[in-house]
Chain A
């Protein structure tokens, strides 16, 4: 039976080759990982250098004594506490509003039958492809006019950054909620209908609790979005004390040196980068599994 033998040897050759390839994959993966991670290391290490080490050539990879007081200096030079507070206000208000109202919208698209439902859903999805630049100018004018028509101030406040989230939370959020609610067994809410529970109660006490995983995923995505948002706060807010952290760090980049140009302190920029990156990274580590789930849940895995 020479055929079998040759098949076996070819299979073992195959196996040998795949073992070889796999052992090559390690150096590649690890090199890539180090490359991706190195900027973090270098930033943190640079933020802890003494001034002369920072400006040394060739660059120093292992500074001898870590200068933790650089961070104190940074916090004194910029209003980071205020910027953090402003960001938290926006993150909390916009995330709450976005999560609640997108769950309502998703529930509607997933469970109710009405005219134009499909058309509205397609319109909703197509807004995901809309470049932000198109709506930015009219939205700015809208908030400017609202400031004139209502006794509430809108421009140069945080309101334009979170109030829109209370109107559905955006197309992606609605899409995600609809996809998730469609995977829930309909028997549960149908049974409640037969028991005579009204739809608001079904939503609040049956659907919403079942949606917790989706809500968590959405909350994280929305938190990170609010944290990173740059263009909108830059357009709406002029007073540095009202900046969220993203624009605050940009403001810091331009103004940290103040009038004292004799002593360059660019390491403060590295401290500022670290300070503004810590929270998203902590959020990521705390809720890692929700990220992957969000991708799988949205059903775009092909």
Chain B
């Protein structure tokens, strides 16, 4: 009897569980899983939205790897951007979080000032920095000239300097963002006893940082690293608004390439193939990242 009642309750519970999950399940199918599978299919076709899709087998992938002159350069460029901007961004965020964790007087004001840039909409950020980085009359070139550099640094207007310029723009908005708040919360979770023990052992501030702080916050580092890399690989708005992928394709990142093929040339099939290559790249990098994390992430905190 009792068992019967329990099953009835269990079934009723399960039914309600599924019912409450229905909006999300539908969303998952309609807007995520369905589209992923559909774009895999599309990547084997030629499709311009108006005429029916035409099956072309692997030819889109062949075009990407062998014929598309922009494919490899835009992929390497995207890696270059991520490899430079992610470690720089994480280091800056951690540095800011550590400064905020010193309980200095006025920490709240400092935190607000570090965090505000991340509230700035991406397009506004670009307009602001294009103005600061104006090659003729920009204030950054005035600063450079004070340090004895020539006052005509080209910033986004030169192939060689455009990506570093975009990295600086993004650093401004990401250094003090959620990434910093996550580091700060992690730092505040490190037990004070560990520092006291290290101090009794005579450890200086650098060993303390290296052997106590860093291991204790390593899960937060991993979290920020994984999401940071995924975000950096998708760099789009900054490059699109600041330099339109130029000059001379100098900031033509992979996301811009997908956008152009799919939404300017309406080559939906080829665009989907590019998107799938991108998905595989992101997944492989994330898996490598998680795999390597076994060696340096410390879950001793029991979280």
- Please give, as numbers and ranges, the residues of chain B lying within 8 Å of A253 by CB-CB distance: 123, 127, 241
Q: Does A88 contact B (CB under 8 A)?
A: no
Given contacts A113-B14, A249-B123, contact A301 B35 (CB under 8 A): no
Contact mask for chain B residues 259-298; partner A; CB cutoff 8 A; 1 contact, 0 none: 1001100001001100110110011001000000000000
Q: Does B205 contact A (CB under 8 A)?
A: yes
Q: Does B218 contact A (CB under 8 A)?
A: yes
A26 to B121: give the CA distance in the assembly, Å. Answer: 29
Contact residue among A59, A108, A246 (Cβ-Cβ distance under 8 Å from B17): A108
A250 to B237: give the CA distance in the assembly, Å. Answer: 10
Q: How far is the CB of B95 from chain A (nearest CB, A)?
A: 8
Q: Does B110 contact A (CB under 8 A)?
A: yes
Given contacts A57-B137, A59-B137, A112-B13, contact A249 B127 (CB under 8 A): yes
A208 to B110: give the CA distance in the assembly, Å. Answer: 35
B contacts with A: majority SS: helix
A230 to B263: give the CA distance in the assembly, Å. Answer: 14
Contact residue among A22, A26, A123, A133 (Cβ-Cβ distance under 8 Å from B258): A133
Name B156-206 residues within 8 Å CB distance of A. Answer: 172, 175-176, 178, 181-182, 185-186, 188-189, 199, 205
Q: Does B303 contact A (CB under 8 A)?
A: yes
A230 to B125: give the CA distance in the assembly, Å. Answer: 13
Contact residue among B223, B255, B268 (Cβ-Cβ distance under 8 Å from A133): B255
A242 to B121: give the CA distance in the assembly, Å. Answer: 19
Name A153-182 residues within 8 Å CB distance of B. Answer: 164, 166-169, 174
- In the complex, are the beta carbons of A36 and B262 less than 8 A apart? no
- In the complex, are the beta carbons of B13 and A300 less than 8 A apart? no
Contact mask for chain B residues 103-122; partner A; CB cutoff 8 A; 1 contact, 0 none: 01000011011111101111
- Please give, as numbers and ranges, the residues of chain B lying within 8 Å of A167 by CB-CB distance: 23-24, 26-28, 30-31
A283 to B119: give the CA distance in the assembly, Å. Answer: 9
- Please give, as numbers and ranges, the residues of chain A lying within 8 Å of B123 by CB-CB distance: 230, 246-247, 249-250, 253, 273, 276
Q: Does B207 contact A (CB under 8 A)?
A: no
- In the complex, are the beta carbons of A114 and B17 less than 8 A apart? yes
Contact residue among B35, B181, B279 (Cβ-Cβ distance under 8 Å from A139): B35
Given contacts A22-B104, A136-B262, contact A105 B181 (CB under 8 A): no
Q: Does A185 contact B (CB under 8 A)?
A: no
Closest to A296 in B: B185
- Please give, as numbers and ranges, the residues of chain B lying within 8 Å of A168 by CB-CB distance: 23-28
- Please give, as numbers and ranges, the residues of chain B lying within 8 Å of A128 by CB-CB distance: 227
- Please give, as numbers and ranges, the residues of chain B lying within 8 Å of A4 by CB-CB distance: none
Interface pick from A39-47, A65-73, A74-82: A39-47
- In the complex, are the beta carbons of B189 and A134 less than 8 A apart? no
- Please give, as numbers and ranges, the residues of chain A lying within 8 Å of B225 by CB-CB distance: none
A246 to B279: give the CA distance in the assembly, Å. Answer: 26
**Residues of B in contact with A, size category:** 35 or more
Q: How far is the CB of B33 from chain A (nearest CB, A)?
A: 8
Q: Does B102 contact A (CB under 8 A)?
A: yes
- In the complex, are the beta carbons of A137 and B23 less than 8 A apart? no
Q: Does A292 contact B (CB under 8 A)?
A: yes
- In the complex, are the beta carbons of A112 and B20 less than 8 A apart? yes
- Please give, as numbers and ranges, the residues of chain B lying within 8 Å of A246 by CB-CB distance: 121-123
Contact mask for chain A residues 37-63; partner B; CB cutoff 8 A; 1 contact, 0 none: 101101100100000000111110000
Contact residue among A28, A46, A112, A134 (Cβ-Cβ distance under 8 Å from B279): A134
- Please give, as numbers and ranges, the residues of chain A lying within 8 Å of B129 by CB-CB distance: 39
- In the complex, are the beta carbons of A302 and B218 less than 8 A apart? yes
- In the complex, are the beta carbons of A231 and B237 less than 8 A apart? yes
A124 to B132: give the CA distance in the assembly, Å. Answer: 41
- In the complex, are the beta carbons of A131 and B104 less than 8 A apart? no
Q: Does A240 contact B (CB under 8 A)?
A: no
A124 to B181: give the CA distance in the assembly, Å. Answer: 24
A288 to B116: give the CA distance in the assembly, Å. Answer: 11
- In the complex, are the beta carbons of B23 and A231 less than 8 A apart? no
Given contacts A58-B142, A131-B278, A277-B119, contact A138 B39 (CB under 8 A): yes
Contact mask for chain A residues 271-302; partner B; CB cutoff 8 A; 1 contact, 0 none: 01110110011011000100110011001111
Q: How far is the CB of B159 from chain A (nearest CB, A)?
A: 22
Closest to B109 in A: A33
- In the complex, are the beta carbons of A134 and B185 less than 8 A apart? no
Question: Which of B20, B259, B268 gathers most chain A CB within 10 Å?
Answer: B20
A127 to B282: give the CA distance in the assembly, Å. Answer: 12
- In the complex, are the beta carbons of A101 and B199 less than 8 A apart? no
A-B CB contact pairs (8 Å), 6 listed = A105-B23, A109-B21, A114-B13, A230-B237, A235-B263, A273-B124
B contact residues vs A (CB 8 Å cutoff): 10, 13-14, 16-21, 23-28, 30-32, 34-36, 38-39, 42, 49, 96, 99, 102, 104, 109-110, 112-117, 119-124, 127-129, 131-132, 136-139, 142, 172, 175-176, 178, 181-182, 185-186, 188-189, 199, 205, 216-221, 223, 226-227, 230, 233-234, 236-237, 241, 255, 258-259, 262-263, 268, 271-272, 275-276, 278-279, 282-283, 286, 301, 303
Q: A140-B263, A168-B25 are in contact. List 8 more A-B contacts (CB 8 A).
A: A39-B117, A108-B24, A114-B14, A129-B282, A131-B230, A138-B38, A284-B116, A302-B223
